[in-house]
Amino acid sequence: MDTKLLQRLDLLADNTLSIVFEKQRLKQLKLNVDKYQINIDKNLTQLRDGIKVLEQQLSEEEQTGARDTKAEEDKLIQLQVKVDKLDALLGNQDDATAREILLGDKRGKNSSVRFTSIDMDQTNDMENGQILQLQQRIMDDQDQDLDHLSDAIRRQRELGLLIGDELETHAQIIDETEEMVDRTDERLRQAKKKLDYVGRKVKDNKSVCIVIALIIVFFILVGLFR
């Protein structure tokens, strides 16, 4: 099985979960979330297509029996669990199924990974050792589900802290902008006062200049008529 593809899909599922939480937050603020929904739908399509490819590869490897595929099978199950939980968060499941998926009771009725369902009627023909192994595997799967849920909660908390820090930064920028506007307004008022003062001075000086000019003209005329 293509482990690199599995890792890329796992990262894509985690990223999509963060986008879903951000979309829900913005939706509560009554903001436009169309671009988030388009991105989520695109990621889910890639995840489902990738899971189908991995299932086919794993099935072929099981048929050849060349090596033990248990570890890869578990990783593929974990990836499908993430996709199921994304569907549950987005409302793509009915309420009862979504609640069971999110609580980790089961992985959803429409799970496409055939390794996730275990028919307990098969244990009738099993020996005690085989039954114990099966029970241990179920318990391991449940522990993994709890770990994934814990990781999702941790990522949600980290996302919430990042959003809180970003909002605090924006608030500081707004406060600084308001202070800058106030300082600029005060400077404009002072500049206006100075301009008014200069205007009055110029007006007064203009009157003085006119009087002086008239006096000079008067003396010139007196000198001419002597």
Please give the Cα distance from 1 to 52 (Å, whole number): 12
Q: Is the pLDDT of residue 142 over 60?
A: yes
Instruction: Look at residue 129 in the predicted model and tell me its pLDDT.
Output: 44
* pLDDT, mean over the chain: 76
Q: Is the pLDDT of residue 112 over 50?
A: no
DSSP character for 225? T
Alpha helices in the chain (DSSP H): 3-28, 34-64, 70-89, 95-103, 128-224
pLDDT digits (tens, 9 = 90+) for 37-91: 888 889 889 998 998 888 888 888 877 776 667 888 888 888 888 888 888 777 7
Instruction: Look at residue 226 in the predicted model and tell me its pLDDT.
Output: 59
Q: pTM higher than 0.85, yes or no?
A: no
Q: Is the pLDDT of residue 123 over 50?
A: no
Instruction: Look at residue 204 in the predicted model and tell me its pLDDT.
Output: 67
CA distance readout (Å), 54 to 2, 17, 57, 75, 200: 7, 21, 5, 11, 86
Which of the two residues, 185 and 116, has the higher pLDDT score? 185
Tokens of 74: 């578990």
* Lowest mean pLDDT, pick from 22-36, 103-117, 145-159: 103-117
Instruction: Look at residue 114 in the predicted model and tell me its pLDDT.
Output: 37
What are the DSSP calls for 93-137, one per residue? Answer: S-HHHHHHHHHTS-S-TT---TTS---GGGGGG--HHHHHHHHHH
Q: Is the pLDDT of residue 8 over 60?
A: yes
| Cβ-based neighbours of 57, under 8 Å, separated by 6 or more | 1, 2
Burial (CB count within 10 angstroms: exposed 0-12, middle 13-18, buried 19+), residue 92: middle
Buried b (16+ CB within 10 A) or exposed e, 8-30: ebbebbeebbebbbebeeeeeee
pLDDT digits (tens, 9 = 90+) for 184-195: 888 888 888 888
Q: Is the pLDDT of residue 5 over 70?
A: yes
